[in-house]
Amino acid sequence: MIDEIALKVLEKRYLARDEAGIPTESVEEMFRRVADHVAAADPSRDRTARRKISDIYFRMMYDLEFLPNSPTLMNAGRDLGQLAACFVLPVEDSLESIFQSIKDTAMIHQSGGGTGFSFSRLRPKGDIVRSTMGAASGPVSFIRVFNMATEVIKQGGTRRGANMGILRIDHPDIEEFITIKTDPAELVNFNLSVAITDEFFEHCRGNKVFTLVNPRNGQAVRKVPALDLMGLIARCAWKSGEPGLVFIDTVNRSNPTPHLGAIEATNPCGEQPLLPYESCCLGSIDCSKVVREGRIDHDKLKVLVHDAVRFLDDTIDAGRYPLEPIKEISRANRKLGLGVMGFAHMLIKLGIPYDSDKAVKAANDLMGFIDDESKKASTELATERGVFPNYKGSIWEKKGIPIRNATTTTIAPTGTLSILAGTSSGIEPVYDTEYSRVLFGGLRVNIVDPLYKKMLDTTRPNRLKGLFRKAYDVSPGWHIGIQKAFQDHVDNAVSKTINLSASATPQDIQSIYIKAYDMGLKGITVFRDTSRDAQILSCRTQQTC
Protein backbone atom coordinates (compact mmCIF):
# COMPACT_ATOMS: atom_id res chain seq x y z
CA MET A 1 0.00 0.00 0.00
CA ILE A 2 1.63 3.23 -1.18
CA ASP A 3 0.97 6.11 1.22
CA GLU A 4 0.68 9.81 0.40
CA ILE A 5 4.33 10.70 1.03
CA ALA A 6 5.56 7.68 -0.94
CA LEU A 7 3.32 8.67 -3.84
CA LYS A 8 4.74 12.18 -3.75
CA VAL A 9 8.27 10.76 -3.94
CA LEU A 10 7.32 8.46 -6.82
CA GLU A 11 5.74 11.29 -8.79
CA LYS A 12 8.76 13.54 -8.34
CA ARG A 13 11.53 11.03 -8.96
CA TYR A 14 10.44 7.69 -10.37
CA LEU A 15 7.34 7.75 -12.54
CA ALA A 16 7.74 8.54 -16.24
CA ARG A 17 6.65 12.12 -16.96
CA ASP A 18 5.84 14.21 -19.99
CA GLU A 19 7.59 17.46 -20.93
CA ALA A 20 5.35 19.38 -18.55
CA GLY A 21 6.43 17.15 -15.68
CA ILE A 22 3.08 15.38 -15.40
CA PRO A 23 3.32 11.63 -14.60
CA THR A 24 2.40 9.47 -17.58
CA GLU A 25 2.36 6.14 -15.74
CA SER A 26 0.82 4.76 -12.58
CA VAL A 27 2.76 3.05 -9.79
CA GLU A 28 1.56 -0.31 -11.09
CA GLU A 29 2.72 0.58 -14.61
CA MET A 30 6.14 1.61 -13.28
CA PHE A 31 6.67 -1.76 -11.60
CA ARG A 32 5.45 -3.54 -14.75
CA ARG A 33 7.85 -1.49 -16.88
CA VAL A 34 10.77 -2.49 -14.65
CA ALA A 35 9.74 -6.16 -14.43
CA ASP A 36 9.28 -6.54 -18.20
CA HIS A 37 12.60 -4.88 -19.00
CA VAL A 38 14.65 -6.91 -16.52
CA ALA A 39 12.93 -10.21 -17.40
CA ALA A 40 13.82 -9.71 -21.07
CA ALA A 41 17.57 -9.78 -20.27
CA ASP A 42 17.98 -13.53 -20.72
CA PRO A 43 17.82 -14.33 -24.47
CA SER A 44 17.18 -18.02 -23.72
CA ARG A 45 13.73 -17.23 -22.33
CA ASP A 46 10.86 -17.61 -24.75
CA ARG A 47 7.84 -15.34 -24.55
CA THR A 48 6.02 -17.55 -22.05
CA ALA A 49 9.08 -17.82 -19.80
CA ARG A 50 9.63 -14.07 -19.94
CA ARG A 51 6.04 -13.40 -18.91
CA LYS A 52 6.30 -15.87 -16.05
CA ILE A 53 9.50 -14.38 -14.63
CA SER A 54 8.24 -10.85 -15.24
CA ASP A 55 5.14 -11.63 -13.18
CA ILE A 56 7.35 -12.86 -10.33
CA TYR A 57 9.47 -9.70 -10.47
CA PHE A 58 6.39 -7.50 -10.68
CA ARG A 59 4.67 -9.13 -7.73
CA MET A 60 7.59 -8.82 -5.29
CA MET A 61 8.01 -5.14 -6.19
CA TYR A 62 4.31 -4.28 -6.28
CA ASP A 63 3.85 -5.95 -2.88
CA LEU A 64 6.83 -3.88 -1.67
CA GLU A 65 8.60 -7.02 -0.47
CA PHE A 66 11.68 -6.29 -2.57
CA LEU A 67 12.82 -3.09 -4.27
CA PRO A 68 15.88 -2.55 -6.47
CA ASN A 69 18.03 0.57 -6.24
CA SER A 70 16.58 3.84 -7.50
CA PRO A 71 18.22 3.93 -10.98
CA THR A 72 16.55 0.61 -11.82
CA LEU A 73 13.12 1.96 -10.91
CA MET A 74 13.79 5.21 -12.77
CA ASN A 75 15.49 3.95 -15.91
CA ALA A 76 14.46 0.36 -16.70
CA GLY A 77 12.49 0.25 -19.94
CA ARG A 78 13.26 3.90 -20.68
CA ASP A 79 15.80 5.63 -22.91
CA LEU A 80 18.58 5.98 -20.31
CA GLY A 81 18.47 2.29 -19.42
CA GLN A 82 21.21 2.65 -16.75
CA LEU A 83 20.27 0.43 -13.79
CA ALA A 84 23.19 0.53 -11.34
CA ALA A 85 23.47 2.83 -8.33
CA CYS A 86 27.13 2.34 -7.40
CA PHE A 87 30.28 3.19 -9.33
CA VAL A 88 33.96 3.69 -8.54
CA LEU A 89 36.27 5.61 -10.88
CA PRO A 90 40.08 5.77 -10.84
CA VAL A 91 41.93 9.04 -10.25
CA GLU A 92 45.57 8.83 -11.29
CA ASP A 93 48.27 11.44 -10.71
CA SER A 94 47.97 13.39 -13.95
CA LEU A 95 45.76 16.19 -15.22
CA GLU A 96 44.62 13.97 -18.08
CA SER A 97 43.41 11.26 -15.68
CA ILE A 98 41.81 13.73 -13.26
CA PHE A 99 39.76 15.49 -15.91
CA GLN A 100 38.88 12.23 -17.66
CA SER A 101 37.41 11.10 -14.33
CA ILE A 102 35.46 14.34 -14.03
CA LYS A 103 34.02 13.77 -17.51
CA ASP A 104 33.18 10.15 -16.66
CA THR A 105 31.57 11.28 -13.40
CA ALA A 106 29.28 13.64 -15.29
CA MET A 107 28.15 10.79 -17.54
CA ILE A 108 27.41 8.55 -14.55
CA HIS A 109 25.57 11.23 -12.59
CA GLN A 110 23.48 12.13 -15.62
CA SER A 111 22.34 8.51 -15.78
CA GLY A 112 21.40 8.34 -12.09
CA GLY A 113 24.46 6.72 -10.53
CA GLY A 114 26.65 7.74 -7.62
CA THR A 115 30.44 7.70 -7.70
CA GLY A 116 33.33 6.94 -5.37
CA PHE A 117 36.98 7.90 -5.73
CA SER A 118 40.28 7.42 -3.98
CA PHE A 119 42.38 10.56 -4.28
CA SER A 120 45.32 8.86 -2.56
CA ARG A 121 47.47 8.61 -5.71
CA LEU A 122 47.57 12.40 -6.19
CA ARG A 123 50.81 14.07 -5.15
CA PRO A 124 50.59 16.36 -2.11
CA LYS A 125 50.20 20.12 -2.11
CA GLY A 126 53.47 21.89 -2.90
CA ASP A 127 55.09 18.86 -4.54
CA ILE A 128 56.97 19.53 -7.75
CA VAL A 129 55.29 19.24 -11.16
CA ARG A 130 58.25 18.66 -13.46
CA SER A 131 56.41 19.33 -16.73
CA THR A 132 55.80 22.95 -15.70
CA MET A 133 58.34 23.29 -12.86
CA GLY A 134 55.37 24.44 -10.80
CA ALA A 135 53.89 23.18 -7.54
CA ALA A 136 51.01 20.71 -7.17
CA SER A 137 47.80 22.00 -5.60
CA GLY A 138 47.01 18.71 -3.81
CA PRO A 139 44.03 16.32 -3.63
CA VAL A 140 41.62 18.64 -1.80
CA SER A 141 41.83 21.27 -4.54
CA PHE A 142 40.84 18.67 -7.13
CA ILE A 143 38.04 17.29 -4.95
CA ARG A 144 36.61 20.82 -5.09
CA VAL A 145 36.64 20.60 -8.91
CA PHE A 146 34.74 17.29 -8.79
CA ASN A 147 32.30 18.88 -6.35
CA MET A 148 31.65 21.83 -8.65
CA ALA A 149 31.11 19.55 -11.65
CA THR A 150 28.57 17.59 -9.62
CA GLU A 151 26.78 20.81 -8.71
CA VAL A 152 25.70 21.37 -12.29
CA ILE A 153 24.71 17.81 -13.20
CA LYS A 154 21.52 16.24 -11.89
CA GLN A 155 21.36 12.46 -11.64
CA GLY A 156 19.00 11.25 -14.34
CA GLY A 157 17.45 14.70 -14.35
CA THR A 158 15.93 14.06 -10.92
CA ARG A 159 18.59 14.54 -8.25
CA ARG A 160 22.05 16.00 -7.80
CA GLY A 161 24.91 13.53 -7.89
CA ALA A 162 26.45 11.93 -4.83
CA ASN A 163 30.14 11.19 -4.34
CA MET A 164 32.49 9.49 -1.92
CA GLY A 165 35.98 10.91 -1.58
CA ILE A 166 38.61 8.75 0.12
CA LEU A 167 42.16 9.59 1.15
CA ARG A 168 44.62 7.22 2.82
CA ILE A 169 45.68 8.06 6.35
CA ASP A 170 49.36 8.11 5.26
CA HIS A 171 48.88 10.86 2.63
CA PRO A 172 50.78 14.09 3.45
CA ASP A 173 47.62 16.20 2.94
CA ILE A 174 45.55 14.11 5.34
CA GLU A 175 44.98 16.89 7.91
CA GLU A 176 43.52 19.23 5.29
CA PHE A 177 41.27 16.40 4.08
CA ILE A 178 40.10 15.52 7.61
CA THR A 179 39.18 19.11 8.50
CA ILE A 180 37.72 20.39 5.21
CA LYS A 181 34.06 19.64 5.97
CA THR A 182 34.02 21.38 9.33
CA ASP A 183 33.01 24.27 7.06
CA PRO A 184 29.42 23.33 6.11
CA ALA A 185 29.73 25.18 2.78
CA GLU A 186 32.56 22.90 1.61
CA LEU A 187 32.12 19.84 -0.62
CA VAL A 188 28.35 19.64 -0.23
CA ASN A 189 28.15 16.92 -2.89
CA PHE A 190 30.69 14.65 -1.18
CA ASN A 191 30.84 12.24 1.68
CA LEU A 192 34.42 11.90 2.90
CA SER A 193 36.14 8.90 4.47
CA VAL A 194 39.69 8.28 5.60
CA ALA A 195 41.19 4.96 4.49
CA ILE A 196 42.59 3.56 7.74
CA THR A 197 45.30 0.89 7.58
CA ASP A 198 46.25 -1.84 10.04
CA GLU A 199 49.65 -0.17 10.39
CA PHE A 200 48.03 3.08 11.54
CA PHE A 201 46.02 1.32 14.24
CA GLU A 202 49.15 -0.48 15.45
CA HIS A 203 50.85 2.90 15.78
CA CYS A 204 47.86 4.28 17.69
CA ARG A 205 47.97 1.40 20.16
CA GLY A 206 51.69 1.89 20.70
CA ASN A 207 51.37 5.69 20.88
CA LYS A 208 53.96 5.92 18.10
CA VAL A 209 54.66 8.48 15.41
CA PHE A 210 53.23 7.66 11.99
CA THR A 211 54.95 8.36 8.69
CA LEU A 212 53.19 10.31 5.93
CA VAL A 213 54.39 9.28 2.47
CA ASN A 214 54.44 11.04 -0.89
CA PRO A 215 52.53 8.68 -3.24
CA ARG A 216 54.50 10.00 -6.23
CA ASN A 217 57.82 8.53 -5.10
CA GLY A 218 57.15 6.59 -1.89
CA GLN A 219 59.40 8.88 0.13
CA ALA A 220 58.65 9.87 3.73
CA VAL A 221 57.51 13.49 4.01
CA ARG A 222 57.05 13.89 7.78
CA LYS A 223 56.07 12.07 10.94
CA VAL A 224 52.97 12.74 13.05
CA PRO A 225 51.87 11.17 16.35
CA ALA A 226 49.27 8.60 15.28
CA LEU A 227 46.98 9.45 18.20
CA ASP A 228 47.03 13.12 17.15
CA LEU A 229 45.59 12.13 13.77
CA MET A 230 43.01 9.87 15.41
CA GLY A 231 42.01 12.68 17.76
CA LEU A 232 41.69 15.13 14.86
CA ILE A 233 39.35 12.74 13.01
CA ALA A 234 37.23 12.28 16.13
CA ARG A 235 36.97 16.03 16.78
CA CYS A 236 35.94 16.75 13.19
CA ALA A 237 33.36 13.93 13.21
CA TRP A 238 32.06 15.31 16.52
CA LYS A 239 31.63 18.71 14.89
CA SER A 240 30.28 17.76 11.45
CA GLY A 241 29.69 13.99 11.20
CA GLU A 242 32.63 13.66 8.81
CA PRO A 243 34.92 12.13 7.84
CA GLY A 244 33.90 8.52 8.20
CA LEU A 245 36.41 5.71 8.33
CA VAL A 246 37.00 2.89 5.85
CA PHE A 247 39.17 0.09 7.22
CA ILE A 248 40.82 -0.52 3.89
CA ASP A 249 42.96 -3.52 4.85
CA THR A 250 39.90 -5.24 6.32
CA VAL A 251 38.06 -4.53 3.07
CA ASN A 252 40.82 -6.09 0.99
CA ARG A 253 41.05 -9.20 3.13
CA SER A 254 37.64 -10.11 1.73
CA ASN A 255 38.25 -8.84 -1.81
CA PRO A 256 36.74 -11.63 -3.96
CA THR A 257 38.97 -10.89 -6.95
CA PRO A 258 42.43 -10.01 -5.54
CA HIS A 259 44.06 -11.05 -8.81
CA LEU A 260 42.45 -8.00 -10.45
CA GLY A 261 43.90 -5.51 -7.96
CA ALA A 262 43.27 -3.95 -4.57
CA ILE A 263 40.09 -2.10 -3.64
CA GLU A 264 40.72 1.58 -2.87
CA ALA A 265 37.26 3.16 -2.80
CA THR A 266 33.55 2.63 -2.18
CA ASN A 267 30.26 4.01 -3.43
CA PRO A 268 28.90 7.25 -1.84
CA CYS A 269 27.35 5.60 1.23
CA GLY A 270 30.25 3.25 1.86
CA GLU A 271 28.45 -0.09 1.61
CA GLN A 272 29.87 -1.14 -1.76
CA PRO A 273 33.66 -1.43 -2.11
CA LEU A 274 34.51 -1.64 -5.80
CA LEU A 275 37.49 -1.86 -8.13
CA PRO A 276 38.13 0.99 -10.60
CA TYR A 277 35.29 1.18 -13.16
CA GLU A 278 33.17 -1.42 -11.37
CA SER A 279 29.46 -0.85 -10.88
CA CYS A 280 26.88 -2.71 -8.86
CA CYS A 281 23.10 -3.01 -8.68
CA LEU A 282 21.66 -3.15 -5.19
CA GLY A 283 18.32 -4.43 -3.96
CA SER A 284 16.66 -4.76 -0.57
CA ILE A 285 14.12 -7.16 0.91
CA ASP A 286 11.71 -5.67 3.45
CA CYS A 287 12.32 -8.22 6.19
CA SER A 288 9.41 -6.87 8.23
CA LYS A 289 7.09 -8.29 5.58
CA VAL A 290 8.23 -11.87 6.17
CA VAL A 291 7.06 -11.90 9.80
CA ARG A 292 4.06 -14.22 10.19
CA GLU A 293 2.36 -14.75 13.56
CA GLY A 294 5.36 -13.65 15.60
CA ARG A 295 8.05 -15.51 13.66
CA ILE A 296 10.02 -15.22 10.44
CA ASP A 297 8.54 -17.16 7.54
CA HIS A 298 11.76 -18.69 6.23
CA ASP A 299 10.01 -20.40 3.32
CA LYS A 300 8.74 -17.02 2.12
CA LEU A 301 12.14 -15.40 2.71
CA LYS A 302 13.95 -18.13 0.77
CA VAL A 303 11.75 -17.61 -2.28
CA LEU A 304 12.28 -13.84 -2.09
CA VAL A 305 16.07 -14.22 -1.86
CA HIS A 306 16.26 -16.56 -4.86
CA ASP A 307 13.97 -14.35 -6.96
CA ALA A 308 15.88 -11.21 -5.94
CA VAL A 309 19.27 -12.72 -6.83
CA ARG A 310 17.95 -13.72 -10.26
CA PHE A 311 16.47 -10.23 -10.71
CA LEU A 312 19.75 -8.51 -9.80
CA ASP A 313 21.77 -10.84 -12.03
CA ASP A 314 19.41 -10.00 -14.89
CA THR A 315 19.98 -6.26 -14.34
CA ILE A 316 23.67 -6.71 -15.17
CA ASP A 317 22.71 -7.78 -18.70
CA ALA A 318 19.58 -5.64 -19.02
CA GLY A 319 21.32 -2.38 -18.15
CA ARG A 320 23.08 0.09 -20.36
CA TYR A 321 26.43 1.40 -19.17
CA PRO A 322 27.68 4.99 -19.39
CA LEU A 323 31.23 3.85 -20.26
CA GLU A 324 32.64 0.79 -22.03
CA PRO A 325 35.23 -0.02 -19.29
CA ILE A 326 32.39 -0.05 -16.74
CA LYS A 327 30.39 -2.46 -18.88
CA GLU A 328 33.37 -4.78 -19.30
CA ILE A 329 34.39 -5.20 -15.66
CA SER A 330 30.83 -5.09 -14.28
CA ARG A 331 29.78 -7.97 -16.52
CA ALA A 332 33.07 -9.80 -15.88
CA ASN A 333 32.68 -9.74 -12.06
CA ARG A 334 28.87 -9.61 -11.89
CA LYS A 335 28.75 -8.24 -8.34
CA LEU A 336 25.33 -8.05 -6.69
CA GLY A 337 24.31 -6.27 -3.51
CA LEU A 338 21.24 -7.88 -1.94
CA GLY A 339 20.36 -6.61 1.52
CA VAL A 340 17.47 -5.72 3.77
CA MET A 341 15.37 -2.83 4.94
CA GLY A 342 12.75 -2.81 7.67
CA PHE A 343 14.97 -4.52 10.25
CA ALA A 344 13.73 -2.34 13.13
CA HIS A 345 10.11 -2.97 12.13
CA MET A 346 10.85 -6.69 11.95
CA LEU A 347 12.17 -6.63 15.52
CA ILE A 348 9.11 -4.73 16.72
CA LYS A 349 6.79 -7.27 15.11
CA LEU A 350 8.79 -10.03 16.83
CA GLY A 351 8.55 -8.20 20.15
CA ILE A 352 12.32 -7.66 20.40
CA PRO A 353 13.90 -4.37 21.56
CA TYR A 354 16.62 -3.08 19.19
CA ASP A 355 19.16 -2.72 21.98
CA SER A 356 19.22 -6.32 23.19
CA ASP A 357 21.10 -9.58 22.79
CA LYS A 358 17.98 -11.00 21.14
CA ALA A 359 18.20 -8.30 18.46
CA VAL A 360 21.85 -9.13 17.76
CA LYS A 361 20.94 -12.81 17.48
CA ALA A 362 18.03 -11.94 15.18
CA ALA A 363 20.41 -9.95 12.97
CA ASN A 364 22.86 -12.86 12.84
CA ASP A 365 20.15 -15.38 12.05
CA LEU A 366 18.42 -13.21 9.44
CA MET A 367 21.50 -12.18 7.48
CA GLY A 368 23.12 -15.58 7.84
CA PHE A 369 20.06 -17.13 6.21
CA ILE A 370 19.91 -14.50 3.45
CA ASP A 371 23.62 -14.79 2.68
CA ASP A 372 23.49 -18.60 2.56
CA GLU A 373 20.45 -18.61 0.29
CA SER A 374 21.91 -15.91 -1.96
CA LYS A 375 24.99 -18.09 -2.47
CA LYS A 376 22.80 -21.10 -3.27
CA ALA A 377 20.85 -18.99 -5.75
CA SER A 378 24.06 -17.74 -7.36
CA THR A 379 25.50 -21.27 -7.67
CA GLU A 380 22.24 -22.40 -9.28
CA LEU A 381 22.58 -19.54 -11.75
CA ALA A 382 26.18 -20.60 -12.42
CA THR A 383 24.94 -24.07 -13.37
CA GLU A 384 22.36 -22.49 -15.65
CA ARG A 385 24.34 -19.56 -17.08
CA GLY A 386 28.00 -20.10 -16.17
CA VAL A 387 30.34 -18.65 -13.56
CA PHE A 388 31.32 -14.98 -13.72
CA PRO A 389 34.04 -14.44 -16.37
CA ASN A 390 36.73 -13.37 -13.86
CA TYR A 391 36.11 -16.48 -11.75
CA LYS A 392 39.57 -17.93 -12.46
CA GLY A 393 41.91 -16.58 -9.78
CA SER A 394 39.06 -15.48 -7.50
CA ILE A 395 38.48 -16.62 -3.93
CA TRP A 396 35.56 -18.70 -5.22
CA GLU A 397 37.80 -20.73 -7.52
CA LYS A 398 40.17 -21.36 -4.59
CA LYS A 399 37.22 -22.53 -2.48
CA GLY A 400 36.02 -24.76 -5.31
CA ILE A 401 32.61 -23.08 -5.39
CA PRO A 402 31.23 -22.39 -8.89
CA ILE A 403 29.24 -19.18 -8.52
CA ARG A 404 27.63 -16.67 -10.87
CA ASN A 405 28.42 -13.50 -8.91
CA ALA A 406 31.64 -12.34 -7.23
CA THR A 407 29.53 -10.92 -4.39
CA THR A 408 25.86 -11.27 -3.51
CA THR A 409 25.19 -9.27 -0.32
CA THR A 410 25.34 -5.62 0.78
CA ILE A 411 23.50 -3.54 3.38
CA ALA A 412 22.42 -0.21 1.86
CA PRO A 413 20.83 2.70 3.77
CA THR A 414 17.58 2.54 1.69
CA GLY A 415 16.58 6.05 2.75
CA THR A 416 14.13 6.62 -0.10
CA LEU A 417 13.25 2.99 -0.82
CA SER A 418 12.11 2.52 2.78
CA ILE A 419 9.71 5.44 2.37
CA LEU A 420 8.25 3.75 -0.71
CA ALA A 421 7.94 0.44 1.16
CA GLY A 422 6.46 2.07 4.27
CA THR A 423 9.13 0.52 6.49
CA SER A 424 12.15 1.43 8.60
CA SER A 425 15.43 2.34 6.90
CA GLY A 426 18.02 -0.36 6.26
CA ILE A 427 19.17 -1.89 9.53
CA GLU A 428 18.78 1.35 11.49
CA PRO A 429 16.60 1.68 14.58
CA VAL A 430 13.46 3.77 14.21
CA TYR A 431 14.67 7.37 14.10
CA ASP A 432 11.62 8.56 16.04
CA THR A 433 7.92 7.78 16.06
CA GLU A 434 7.28 11.23 14.59
CA TYR A 435 9.95 13.17 12.74
CA SER A 436 10.56 15.48 9.82
CA ARG A 437 12.63 14.50 6.81
CA VAL A 438 14.19 16.58 4.06
CA LEU A 439 13.48 15.05 0.66
CA PHE A 440 14.53 16.03 -2.86
CA GLY A 441 14.78 19.72 -3.61
CA GLY A 442 14.78 20.61 0.09
CA LEU A 443 11.17 19.52 0.56
CA ARG A 444 10.57 18.86 4.27
CA VAL A 445 7.83 16.39 5.17
CA ASN A 446 6.50 15.29 8.53
CA ILE A 447 6.39 11.53 8.96
CA VAL A 448 4.65 9.37 11.53
CA ASP A 449 6.20 5.92 11.64
CA PRO A 450 3.64 3.72 9.83
CA LEU A 451 4.02 0.73 12.16
CA TYR A 452 3.74 2.96 15.22
CA LYS A 453 0.56 4.46 13.79
CA LYS A 454 -0.84 0.97 13.20
CA MET A 455 -0.02 -0.25 16.72
CA LEU A 456 -0.98 2.90 18.60
CA ASP A 457 -4.57 1.89 19.36
CA THR A 458 -3.87 -1.75 20.17
CA THR A 459 -0.68 -1.69 22.25
CA ARG A 460 -0.04 -0.43 25.79
CA PRO A 461 2.04 2.81 25.91
CA ASN A 462 4.81 1.22 28.02
CA ARG A 463 5.02 -1.67 25.57
CA LEU A 464 5.24 0.72 22.62
CA LYS A 465 7.99 2.71 24.33
CA GLY A 466 10.02 -0.45 24.96
CA LEU A 467 9.74 -1.64 21.36
CA PHE A 468 10.14 1.64 19.49
CA ARG A 469 13.69 2.30 20.64
CA LYS A 470 14.68 5.56 18.98
CA ALA A 471 18.03 5.97 17.26
CA TYR A 472 19.48 8.31 19.89
CA ASP A 473 18.22 6.16 22.77
CA VAL A 474 20.28 3.21 21.55
CA SER A 475 23.80 3.21 23.01
CA PRO A 476 26.77 3.09 20.60
CA GLY A 477 27.65 -0.43 21.77
CA TRP A 478 24.33 -1.81 20.55
CA HIS A 479 24.58 0.11 17.26
CA ILE A 480 28.00 -1.44 16.63
CA GLY A 481 26.81 -4.87 17.77
CA ILE A 482 24.01 -4.84 15.19
CA GLN A 483 26.38 -3.63 12.46
CA LYS A 484 28.85 -6.38 13.37
CA ALA A 485 26.13 -9.05 13.26
CA PHE A 486 25.20 -8.04 9.72
CA GLN A 487 28.78 -7.54 8.54
CA ASP A 488 29.63 -11.11 9.54
CA HIS A 489 27.22 -12.33 6.83
CA VAL A 490 27.76 -9.71 4.12
CA ASP A 491 30.25 -9.94 1.24
CA ASN A 492 30.54 -6.23 0.68
CA ALA A 493 29.98 -3.75 3.51
CA VAL A 494 27.27 -2.27 5.72
CA SER A 495 25.96 1.29 5.56
CA LYS A 496 24.96 2.27 9.07
CA THR A 497 25.12 5.41 11.18
CA ILE A 498 26.10 5.32 14.84
CA ASN A 499 23.75 7.98 16.20
CA LEU A 500 25.08 9.89 19.21
CA SER A 501 23.35 12.28 21.57
CA ALA A 502 24.35 15.94 21.53
CA SER A 503 26.27 15.39 24.78
CA ALA A 504 28.69 12.83 23.27
CA THR A 505 32.38 13.79 23.31
CA PRO A 506 35.24 13.37 20.81
CA GLN A 507 36.72 10.80 23.19
CA ASP A 508 33.47 8.80 22.93
CA ILE A 509 33.87 8.83 19.16
CA GLN A 510 37.50 7.73 19.35
CA SER A 511 36.44 4.78 21.53
CA ILE A 512 33.80 3.85 18.93
CA TYR A 513 36.46 3.84 16.19
CA ILE A 514 38.68 1.47 18.16
CA LYS A 515 35.80 -0.88 18.92
CA ALA A 516 34.63 -0.88 15.29
CA TYR A 517 38.11 -1.76 14.04
CA ASP A 518 38.62 -4.47 16.65
CA MET A 519 35.25 -6.04 15.78
CA GLY A 520 36.19 -6.37 12.12
CA LEU A 521 33.84 -3.79 10.63
CA LYS A 522 34.74 -2.48 7.17
CA GLY A 523 33.76 1.10 7.95
CA ILE A 524 32.16 3.33 10.54
CA THR A 525 30.15 6.56 10.45
CA VAL A 526 29.03 8.54 13.49
CA PHE A 527 26.59 11.41 13.72
CA ARG A 528 26.13 13.52 16.83
CA ASP A 529 22.69 15.07 17.11
CA THR A 530 22.61 18.83 16.33
CA SER A 531 26.18 18.75 14.96
CA ARG A 532 24.87 20.14 11.68
CA ASP A 533 22.43 23.00 11.22
CA ALA A 534 20.79 21.16 8.31
CA GLN A 535 19.99 17.54 9.18
CA ILE A 536 18.15 15.22 6.80
CA LEU A 537 16.30 13.76 9.79
CA SER A 538 15.22 15.69 12.86
CA CYS A 539 12.82 15.13 15.74
CA ARG A 540 9.44 16.84 15.43
CA THR A 541 9.72 18.32 18.92
CA GLN A 542 13.13 19.89 18.14
CA GLN A 543 14.27 18.69 21.56
CA THR A 544 17.73 17.24 21.98
CA CYS A 545 17.44 13.52 21.31
| Contact criterion met (CB below 8 Å) for 103 and 119 | no
Residue 545 CA to residue 541 CA, distance in Å, equals 9
Whether omega before 139 lies within 30 degrees of 0, making that bond cis, reads no
From the candidates 69, 75, 191, 267, which is the catalytic residue?
Answer: 267
Residues in the chain: 545
pLDDT in the model for residue 441: 63
pLDDT, tens digit (0-9, with 9 covering 90-100), for 86-107: 999 999 999 999 999 999 999 9
pLDDT, tens digit (0-9, with 9 covering 90-100), for 434-453: 988 877 666 777 888 999 99
| 269 catalytic per annotation | yes
pLDDT in the model for residue 542: 34
275, 286, 411: which is closest to 341 by C-alpha? 286
From the candidates 65, 271, 278, 428, which is the catalytic residue?
Answer: 271
Provide the CB-side half-sphere exposure for 321 (13 A, CA). 19
pLDDT in the model for residue 543: 33
* Averaged pLDDT score across all residues of the chain: 94
Higher-pLDDT residue of 116, 458: 116
pLDDT, tens digit (0-9, with 9 covering 90-100), for 289-298: 999 999 999 9
The residues with which 274 forms a beta bridge, in sequence order, are 265
pLDDT, tens digit (0-9, with 9 covering 90-100), for 306-363: 999 999 999 999 999 999 999 999 999 999 999 999 999 999 999 999 999 999 999 9
Q: How confident is the model at residue 497 (pLDDT cuts 50, 70, 90)?
A: very high
Q: Tell me: pLDDT of 534 over 90.
A: no
**Residue 266, Ramachandran bin (φ over 0: left; ψ between -120 and 50: alpha; else beta):** beta
pTM: 0.95
From the candidates 86, 204, 236, 269, which is the catalytic residue?
Answer: 269
| Contact criterion met (CB below 8 Å) for 188 and 147 | yes
* Lowest mean pLDDT, pick from 168-172, 206-210, 221-225, 531-535: 531-535
The full set of domains in the chain, from first to last, is 4-79+280-399 (no CATH), 86-266 (3.20.70.20), 424-539 (no CATH)
Strands (E), 41-112: 66-68, 86-88
| Contact criterion met (CB below 8 Å) for 271 and 493 | yes
Q: Tell me: pLDDT of 474 over 60.
A: yes
Higher-pLDDT residue of 133, 293: 293
Higher-pLDDT residue of 154, 281: 281
Average pLDDT score over residue span 145-149: 95
Residue 284 CA to residue 362 CA, distance in Å, equals 17
| 267 catalytic per annotation | yes
pLDDT in the model for residue 157: 57
pLDDT in the model for residue 436: 85
Residue 2 CA to residue 94 CA, distance in Å, equals 49
Q: Tell me: pLDDT of 43 over 90.
A: no
Q: How confident is the model at residue 31 (pLDDT cuts 50, 70, 90)?
A: very high
